[in-house]
Amino acid sequence: MSNELLFGLYIFVLAGFLGHYVIEKVPPLLHTPLMAGTNAISGISLVGSLVSAGGHYGKLSMVLGFIAVICATINTVGGFLITDRMLRMFKRKKAPVRSAQA
Amino acid sequence: MSASLPYLIASVCFILALQGLSSPTHARRGNLVGAAGMLIAVVGTLLYAQILTFLWIGIGLMIGAAIGAAMSIWIPMTKMPERIALSHCFGGLAAALVGVSEYHHRLGQGTLDQFTMGALGLEVFLGFLTFTGSLMAFGKLQGIISGAPLTYKGQNATNITMFFAALVLLVLLVLDPSRSFLFYLMGALGLAVGVLAVLPIGGADMPVVISLLNSYAGMASAATGFALGNYVLIIAGALDGTSGFLLSMKMSKAMNRSFANVLFGAFGAQPDTSAGGAGGPAANYNLATVEDAVGVLTAAQTVIVVPGYGMAVSQAQHAVRELAQSLEARGATVKYAIHPVAGRMPGHMNVLLAEANVPYDQLYDLDDINDEFARTDVALVVGANDVVNPAAKTNPGSPIYGMPVFNVDQCHAVIVLKRSVATGFAGIENDLFVQPNTMMVLGDAKKTLREFIAGVKEEAA
């Protein structure tokens, strides 16, 4: 039992360190997409919601799991989409296209 | 355990996605890799985990995907902070609900051990805290709740007490997981702490708060991973948690304030008695007409634009870019100076200017451009206030003293676009606005900029 905890902590701490080094390299330019992207990634809790909603754990678990599936899916689908929409906008200087006024 | 391989692949994809964000040229591909990882994890779960009913899952997935897509495709870029706050809110709620469900299920089965109980407790507390905290942040950003900090006597004592009460509950629960009353009390406490902790935080502190809530949402996900023994959740949660934490550290640093100060300081509540007699009437301002400003702009060889939250409010980013282009057409060099805490979330200004087709190599960070102001003809301040206030450098009594600010005051000429001469956030006087070389042009930024553009074009004709 304490082995399971220890192993989980190993993974948690090492992932945290890795995250630190990777995220340190993200320029301030992309901090908003970073936030949207990590949001999408942490929508992985969808996996837990799926088991809760479809695992025949009883009515309460199913209802809670169902709501959780909706919330987590909003974050994963929405998160990756909006991150892509933002990243698409970042362009280098090169005869900027004149778009119609907003 | 048979979904382990898809989970491992997903974890690698997530790390690659974050790595892609180190440069705008790779970022989109990285994001795609992340999305693919997510798909693999979900399909793996559906195939291998013990899922017996697919009907409700299918309906939930479809509803969620439809809402998520709608929220991403049609939301205007100026509403990005609200959008991000909402997604933290959903993330927190999802984690908390899974926690409640798991607790209920395991308690009924008699498989609730102390370790799982600890993880579930943290998950539910952090999840509900993120849920209400993000709702509050959303309300403040949207203007549903007053953006001003709300404070009352004994506020900090109350918040700290509640936090420790949650800790005590957690310990009691770990000692005896069957006390379900305490479990639900803990959830309720999380909901309350979320509301009360964000209540005293003012609009200009939003970048720190949003980052912090990002971190909490990640921690809640990681706790879910511990409770379910699911490593991809632990990894994704750790990545999200670290990212939010790093961002909030950077934001605090950019305001020269400690975490504790942001959380407990209730910035705007401090009476502004320290401005050192600068609280004079509007007569001190050098109010200028559009013609005056156009004259200065067309004579300039070098221009630095300093955008702030006002640009987002007035949706002036396209007008800013158009003005910059017409000045560039006359041979001037235009750069943009972006402060880390300009706007309501990290990177807010960058996204808006990118939306307006401003090339990102014209956007400069604080450290990269601050020495250039002294050599620059004109600084054009569009709806920024605190980040250009020289009091942060000179007046030890100012609430923002010590915060790194742009050296806009060293420019040869400064044009400030502002809605009115009323003191902005927290009533801090801005000495820049009364400098002799500063021209204040009052009115809606977008409208004023359109008049500038027309003026510059007339000059050319």
Task: Provide ipTM, 2 decimals.
Answer: 0.90
Residue A84 lies in a domain: yes
Would an 8 Å CB–CB cutoff place B147 in contact with chain A?
no
Residue B238 contacts A, CB cutoff 8 Å: yes
State how many domains chain A has: 1
pTM: 0.89
From the list A44, A55, A87, which residue is nearest B221 (CB)? A44
- Per-residue confidence (pLDDT) for residue B267, from 0 to 100: 45
Among the partner-chain residues B84, B346, B358, the one whose CB lies closest to the CB of A39 is B84
Least CB-CB distance to A61: which of B49, B104, B224?
A: B104
Among chain B residues, the shortest Cα distance to A98 is held by B357
Q: Which residue range(s) make up the domain with A77? A: 44-89
Dihedral, B46, B48, B52, B53 alpha carbons, nearest 10:
0
- Local mean pLDDT, 10-residue blocks, chain B (461 residues): 83 96 93 96 87 86 96 91 94 95 90 90 95 94 79 79 91 91 94 89 84 93 92 95 92 82 54 39 72 91 94 93 93 94 92 94 92 93 90 85 91 89 62 87 91 87 69
Q: Is A79 contained in some domain?
A: yes
Q: Which CATH superfamily is domain B282-460 in?
A: TPP-binding domain (3.40.50.1220)
Q: Do A78 and B67 touch (CB under 8 A)?
A: yes
Which positions in chain B touch A96 (Cβ < 8 Å)? 321, 325, 357-359
Cβ of A27 and B64 within 8 Å?
A: no
Longest Cα–Cα distance in chain B? 83
Q: Is the pLDDT of residue A96 over 70?
A: no
Residues of A in contact with B80 (CB under 8 A): 32, 86
CA distance B14 to chain A (A): 7
Per-domain boundaries in chain B: 1-74, 79-267, 282-460
Q: Which residue of B has its CA nearest to A21?
A: B19
- Would you state the torsion angle of the CA atoms of residues B3, B7, B10, B15, taken in this order, to the nearest 10 degrees? -170
B386 is catalytic: yes
User: How many CB pairs below 8 A link A and B?
Assistant: 386
State residue B269's pLDDT score. 42
Residues forming a β-bridge with B442:
B418
Write down the catalytic residue from B205, B240, B386, B409: B386
Find, in chain A, the residue whose alpha carbon is nearest to that of B12: A15
pLDDT value for A102:
38
Residue B247: list chain A partners with CB under 8 A: 31, 34-35
- Residue with the bigger pLDDT between A31 and A96: it is A31
- Domain-located, residue A29: no
Interface check B444 vs A, CB under 8 A: no
Query: Which conformational region is residue B150 in: left (phi greater than 0), alpha (psi within -120 to 50 degrees), or beta?
Result: beta
Of A32, A71, A82, the CB nearest to B93: A71
Given B64, B115, B317, which is nearest A70 (Cβ)? B64
B 76-95: CB under 8 A from A: 77, 80, 83-84, 87-88, 90-91, 93-95
B385: nearest Cα among B302, B306, B457: B306
Please provide the average confidence, as pLDDT, over all residues in chain A.
87
